[in-house]
Chain A
Amino acid sequence: MNTHAEERTSLDRNRLHMHWRHVRLWRRFFAQAVVRETQYRAHFLTTLLVGLVQLGLGIVPTLLLFGFTAEVHGWSRAEVIALVGVYQIVTGLIATFVAPNLNRMTTYLTEGELDSVLLRPVSSQFYLTLRWINVAELTNVASGLVVLVIGLVQSDLRPGFGQVVQGVVLVGCGLVLLTAVWSAMSFLAFWLQSVNPIGVVFLSMVEAGRYPLAFFPGVVRTFLTFAFPVAFATTFPVRALAGDLSWGPVALGLGLAVVAMTLVRLVWRRGLLTYSSASS
């Protein structure tokens, strides 16, 4: 007689194979999202237009500010425009890959959808954080790149190869850190039931990334570097491109990213223990 407890071969030969399987799966998610998007062309166009208007109006405070002064704490107008570009890239990436998932967190938990996720042979945390992709938001990444280039050209910055590497690594760290913070906030749903408003709070706090860290008072700077690490996503990358950043902050960013991921993993495990399906 066969029982469910019989020996089976594991899906993965080793850890590397497991990671590779997840990467392949993610590529499928992406391909599916692109196909899906072609069904909703109006949505694509709306996202593009709204994104452009938002970008344009988002620069208004910066432009007004520099209408009254030539530089603030060593930042010129062009450099801040480059920073707005990086901000747009980062928020665009978050809106594409992370937001569609974490905004569903409440439904996953309160309607018991998590059950079917837990049964799948994939890391449930991976699935919950990266399953859905909003391809249309990538247009904001593109417009952000354009703004970044405009800012760099205006400020006469010619970043070398090493500086670009620094910048890209820092943006990566910033993305991981912000995703970790948002995930941790969302996983509170295990205890709070409804976390939809947390996404709103997160997005309004990210707004601080529109401005260089130096524009804030000391206490707030520390907060924006270590507690809500938006500094790694915008200020540090631009300073790296400007060439006045050593490898120290880059190492710090990588270190913090690893710590943050470990912590989020712990919160997730803890939360999962308290989960007792919605329907049963």
Chain B
Amino acid sequence: MTAAEIAQQSVYRGAWIIFMLANICVPIISLLIWRTALANGAQLPVDERYITTYFVLLGFVTMATSSWMAAFLANDIRLGKLSSWMVRPASLLVKFVANNLSEKFLKVFALVPMIGIVWWIFRDSMNLPADAGRWALFAISIVLGAVLVFTIDILIAALAFWMDDVGALVQARVIIASVLSGAVVPLALMPSWSRGFVDHQPFRYTVSFPVEIVAGQLTGRDLLAGLGIQLGYVVVLGALARLVWAAGIRAYSAVGA
């Protein structure tokens, strides 16, 4: 299924390149702003190298962990397309997993060269850990983050079993997540009174945490604790999503059936 999706999506090669251009626009704007602030003498809790590495990698991680299916899945539920999947030997969700993986596979080809260019421009002020262990953790954490975002999307879309229009909720999720995940401002710059909340809420583990592994000064203990919490969220939200989905399927009365 993933292979079929890749073949289908690669028709829109040009579109992917343009989409990825949009993806790195905002991180670059933020990068320039914060570097200016630093050069202007702002007293940030992190240094220039952290900021630079953070924003250069940000575009990649947000892409790699993103999910865009909530609205589509909700539509399939509302319009009764789910019915035809219920008699097939695979869940409708499998289709969305295939779509997610295939689009990301193609996006990587468009995005990596762009990130490479930005990387090269700022090569002098990048923080790059030498040991391969960190990069392995980075990869693991991205996979966990992607699963986490996907699960959150299932939870929101599954509300369509009971509600008519989840469009507003989907939009709200996107906006709130963009701030709480660290996609707009590095969470390290959040004010100290919000620390306890910011560091432990699930959205941190969808974007910020993987980036922090490479860019940040996380100690060995922070790393283990972070990965533990991330895994915990994946398991808990995954179980919850399973329950909600199963309950939804039972409550489902197809349109047109």
Contacts and interface: CB of A to CB of B under 8 A. Distances in A.
Interface in B213-243: none
Given A57-B178, A200-B22, A201-B25, A215 B12 contact: no
A194 B16 CA distance: 11
B92 to A, nearest CB: 25
A61 B175 contact: no
A204 B12 contact: no
Nearest to B165: A42
Interface stretch (B26-34, B63-71, B82-90, B202-210): B26-34
B19 A61 contact: no
A126 B164 CA distance: 37
A57 B179 contact: yes
A227 interface: no
A53 B175 contact: yes
12 contacts: A46-B167, A49-B168, A54-B175, A57-B175, A61-B30, A69-B41, A72-B40, A192-B14, A197-B22, A203-B22, A205-B25, A207-B29
Given A50-B171, A53-B172, A196 B15 contact: yes
B155 interface: no
B25 A194 contact: no
B184 interface: yes
Contacts of B33: 61, 65, 211, 215-216
A104 to B, nearest CB: 17
A207 B32 CA distance: 13
A197 B16 CA distance: 8
Nearest to B168: A46
A207 B168 contact: no
Interface in A11-68: 42, 46, 49-50, 53-54, 57, 60-61, 64-65, 67-68
A194 B29 CA distance: 26
A130 interface: no
B19 A197 contact: yes
Given A65-B34, A68-B43, A197-B22, 13 more contacts: A64-B185, A65-B37, A67-B191, A69-B40, A69-B41, A69-B43, A72-B40, A201-B18, A204-B25, A204-B26, A205-B25, A210-B29, A215-B32
Nearest to B18: A197
Contact of B175 (A46, A50, A198): A50
Given A61-B30, A64-B185, A67-B191, A72 B37 contact: yes
User: Is the interface on chain A under 10, 10 to 19, 20 to 34, or 35 or more residues?
Assistant: 20 to 34
Contacts of B37: 65, 68-69, 72, 215
Nearest to A206: B25
Contacts of B171: 46, 50
Contact of B36 (A57, A64, A210, A216): A216
Nearest to B14: A192
A194 B167 contact: no
Given A69-B43, A72-B40, A215-B36, A207 B25 contact: yes
A73 interface: yes
Contacts of A216: 32-33, 36
B168 A50 contact: yes
A217 interface: yes
A205 B184 CA distance: 14
A80 to B, nearest CB: 11
A212 to B, nearest CB: 10
A208 interface: yes
Contacts of B172: 50, 53
B42 interface: yes
B52 to A, nearest CB: 13
Contact of A60 (B12, B19, B41, B179): B179
Contacts of A201: 18-19, 21-22, 25
Interface in B170-214: 171-172, 175-176, 178-179, 184-185, 189-191
A204 B43 CA distance: 28
B42 A72 contact: yes
B247 interface: no
Contacts of A69: 37, 40-43
B19 A200 contact: yes
A215 B185 CA distance: 16
A69 to B, nearest CB: 4
A220 interface: yes
B19 to A, nearest CB: 5
Given A57-B179, A69-B41, A192-B14, A207 B36 contact: no
